[in-house]
Amino acid sequence: MVESSQAQPGAVAPPNGAGASNQVQKYELALRALEEGLPAAEAAVERTLPEGAPAHPSVVALLERSRDALLFWEVVAGDEYVVFVRPERCFELLRWLKEEPSQAYLYLSDVTAVDYGGGRPLQVVYQLWSMVLKRQLRVKAELPLSALEIDSVVPIWNAANWLEREVYDLFGIRFLGHPDLRRIMMPNNYAEGHPLRKDFPLRGRFSRAEQTRRALSMDTEDFYSPQELVFMQPEDEVGPPGPDSGPGAGGPAEPEGDRA
Amino acid sequence: MSERRTVEYNVSRSPELGMDGRPVRMPVLPIGMEPELVGEHMLINIGPQHPATHGVLRLVLELDGETVVKCTPHVGYLHSSFEKVGEYRMWNQIIPLTDRMDYLAPLIYNCAYAMAVEKLMGVEVTERCKVTRVICMELDRIFSHLLWIGTTGIDIGAFTVFLYTFQERERIYDLHEAFTGARVTPSATRIGGMMADLPAGWTAALQLFVDTVPRTLDEVETLLTNNNLWIGRNRDVGVIGPDDAINYGLTGPNLRASGVDYDIRKDRPYYDYQTYDFDVPVGEHGDCYDRYLVRMEEMRQSLRILRQALDRLPDGPMNVDDPRVILPGKSDCMSDMESMIHHFKIVMEGVKAPPGESWFSVESSKGELGMYVVSDGGSKPVRWRVRGPSFVNISALPRMVEGALLSDVIAVNASLDIVLGEIDR
């Protein structure tokens, strides 16, 4: 590989035959294409719809209904419509999109977030699909790093329950009103932050030695949520008298200490 | 919580008989236990190392007698942050990560990822590549469903089915190996094409598989469909209605068993699925038994698609003729300098995607698999998100088992067809 890069100046040397010249031309074109990269997919850079373009019915309806809640909208990758909304109005608009019969986005496909890094706001991304009308819509809300809070959509779609927990765990966005906002991928006592943020280093914040120390000092109970621990308490108390007051000799001998 | 079941406890050695001669319904408690402990809830833990959790899933169940009062699933034991790692890999280097998510249907994940990136880049793959990917995806749908039926059989106590289906799965492993060199993690796609063209004789081997596998499916159905034990463990267990199923985000066979006709191959067709002649099986009761029936029929429909795809598989190039995404041929690289530089640049700098984002959904064996890629114009993604079907499906488990019996938890969990590699990612 290194040899070929050193040999690169040789590539522009004039070809020695007429037959080869065609091929060289072809590869020069290919190399230039490689340098320039791919053109952006059709309309991917367009920030707003051109006048007269066939608009997404839901985007039109949203514009008519609550223009003040919409920041802007765009079309990406040819046919995907994205609507940017104000985070404080997001819940209301999403509820309307589900409950309004002319929209009927009964199915929430995904909730996720995107961090572009460099202190830019985090985007919360909702993927909606209307099974009745066969329409796709992506709703985004931008949250500044200083206020990573947005209303939970679990009251609208139960599917958002674990998806929002995942976004909370990996991005640190708090979903207000979520019934059970706990970490889902990382352990409950994970102290290194939120891994999918751009400022999180690939191998974690702590040194390898510290990570190993923490892993070794973990207790089984680290994985229990506080609610579950409440249930654990009485069972531990009942434990010891159980075998003693059992039905006499019939019970199997229970090894001592496995309840500890 | 839905309504609780009436449970007849009759396990004590000398049951206390009531006036009508039937056993008195009472919780099983050791004689002499303190009366205030009657009705005490018990907390039990299933997993993470338990064969019936199909991986490292942990369920904490609060039981009243044998009835599940509360179910708390814990996931994350396999979490290896593929999405974070993906942000440090070039577009083509992510493909090996995708098949480590769902190692039961790896080719579907390879294809879905490649499709999302190609959509972002505006690359249209060749006709031969399209048909090959359809073949790969349908083959792996059968691959995954065969594993599901085998392991679910074991969970419920029907061991023989496992042997029948794994024999057939072994033949799919052989097909994977013949095509890609790997059995479990094929990493078969590349941006703009496949890692290689189909080897000689592969389509004939696939044709043989397609012709002979229905016999095994018939045998499995003979063993299970009218089996009294199978029906007893599955029928009316884990019921979820169509509205709830949509609200909980269920997709794939789990959703269709509840009577919702949603299949991405029909509703948002990709790769000309609208031109294939196949039916989407839909259940009506939303219980474990309907999920079983839906999956059995899906395998037969996949075979139909495979037959049509084999018939129409065109000749021609497998990869697109676009030097920006595809490596030059090996013999060109070895014989002329320009191709070698071209090869070097693609390998070292990677394929570049324009700024933008795209979402691509495919119907995987387990439900809607969405790949969301965001690019800033570089050779690595800003964000690569996988909407895994199992992750959302398993989150509906508490809704389906609370109020049911402990033994139903095993049946319901098996019927959801989860794969932990994709849940934890």
Which residue from B45, B195, B7 is spatially nearest to B107, judged by alpha carbons? B195
**With contacts defined as CB-CB under 8 Å, which chain A residues touch B344?**
1, 4-5
Instruction: Name the token pair of B131.
Output: 């048909």
CB contact under 8 A, A115 and B383: yes
List of chain B residues whose C-beta atoms are within 8 Å of the C-beta of residue A11: 337-338, 341
Residue of B nearest to A30 (CA): B323
B11 touches chain A (CB under 8 A): no
Write out pLDDT tens, residues A181-237.
888 888 877 888 899 999 988 888 888 898 888 888 877 666 555 455 444 433 333
- Using alpha carbons, select from B243, B344, B233 the residue that is nearest to residue B291: B233
Closest CA to A163 of A172, A155, A154: A154
Say if residue A13's pLDDT is above 80.
no
pLDDT at A38: 54
Query: Percentages helix, strand, coil for chain A, rounded to the nearest 5?
Result: 40, 15, 45
Q: Which of A194, A146, A155, A147 is nearest to A178 (CA)?
A: A155
Closest CA to B88 of A208, A195, A112: A195
Distance (Å, whole) CA B155 – CA B233:
11
Res. A159: pLDDT tops 70: yes
pLDDT digits (tens, 9 = 90+) for A91-115: 999 999 998 888 889 999 999 999 9
DSSP per residue over B323-364, as a string?
Answer: TTTSPPPHHHHHH-HHHHHHHHHHHHH-----SEEEEEEEEE
Backbone angles phi, psi at B189, to 5 degrees: -95, 160
Of A256 and B406, more confident? B406
* Helix or strand (DSSP H, E) at B137: helix B127-156
> Could you give the maximum distance between any two Cα atoms of chain B, in Å?
97
CA distance B218 to chain A (A): 33
Using the Cβ of B342 and the Cβ atoms of chain A, whether some distance falls under 8 Å is answered with yes
Residues present in chain A in total: 260
| Count of residues in chain B | 425
Judge contact between B92 and B349, C-beta under 8 A: no
- Quote the pLDDT of residue A156: 92
B36-85 pLDDT, tens digit each: 555 677 788 887 888 777 878 888 888 877 888 888 888 888 888 899 99
Say which residues have a Cβ less than 8 Å from residue A143's Cβ, sequence separation at least 6. A87, A121, A122, A123, A124, A149, A150, A173
CB contact under 8 A, B338 and A157: no
Nearest partner of A34 among B343, B113, B123, B95, judged by Cα: B343
Cα separation, B387 vs A111, whole angstroms: 9
Q: DSSP letters along A230-243, please?
A: HHHHHHHHHTTHHH
Domain ranges of chain B: 82-424
DSSP E strand boundaries for B176-287? 189-190, 193-194
What pLDDT score was predicted for residue A256? 40
Residue A243: pLDDT band by 50, 70, 90 thresholds?
very low
Whole-angstrom CA distances from B351 to B121, B319, B340 are 10, 15, 16
* Banded model confidence at residue A70, pLDDT cuts 50, 70, 90: confident
Whole-model pTM: value is 0.81
CB contact under 8 A, A245 and B30: yes
Cβ contact, residue pair B341, A161, below 8 Å: no
List CB contacts (< 8 A) between A31 and chain B: 323, 338, 341-342, 345
Q: What is the ipTM of this complex?
A: 0.84
Give the pLDDT band of residue A10 (cuts 50, 70, 90).
very low
Q: Contact A110/B340, CB-based, under 8 Å?
A: no
DSSP B213-234: HHHHHHHHHHHHTT-HHHHHHH
CB-CB under 8 Å, B42 with A235: yes
**Nearest CA to A123 among A101, A138, A107, A106?**
A138
8-state DSSP, A202: T
pLDDT at residue number A36: 64
Beta bridge partners of A142: A123
Q: Which of B247, B359, B396 sits opposite A138 (nearest CB)?
A: B359
pLDDT(A53) > 70: no
DSSP A50-63: PTT----HHHHHHH
**Sheet of strand A107-114, all strands in order from the earlier edge strand to the far edge:** A70-76, A80-85, A135-143, A122-130, A107-114
CB contact under 8 A, A44 and B356: yes
Round to whole Å and give the CA distance between B401 and B72: 11
Residues of chain B with pLDDT under 50: 1-15, 23, 25-31, 33
Encoding tokens for residue A148?
């990573």
Q: Tell me: domain B82-424, CATH 1.10.645.10, correct? A: yes
SS3 at position B401: helix
- Contact yes or no for A229/A223 (Cβ under 8 A): no
The pLDDT, as a whole number, for residue B286 is 87
Q: What is the mean pLDDT of residues A52-62?
A: 74
pLDDT score for B211: 93
B348 touches B92 (CB < 8 A): no
Strand A70-76 and strand B367-375: the pairing is unpaired
Which residue has better confidence, A8 or B58?
B58
Q: Which CATH architecture has domain A57-223?
A: 2-Layer Sandwich (3.30)
pLDDT (mean) for A65-75: 82
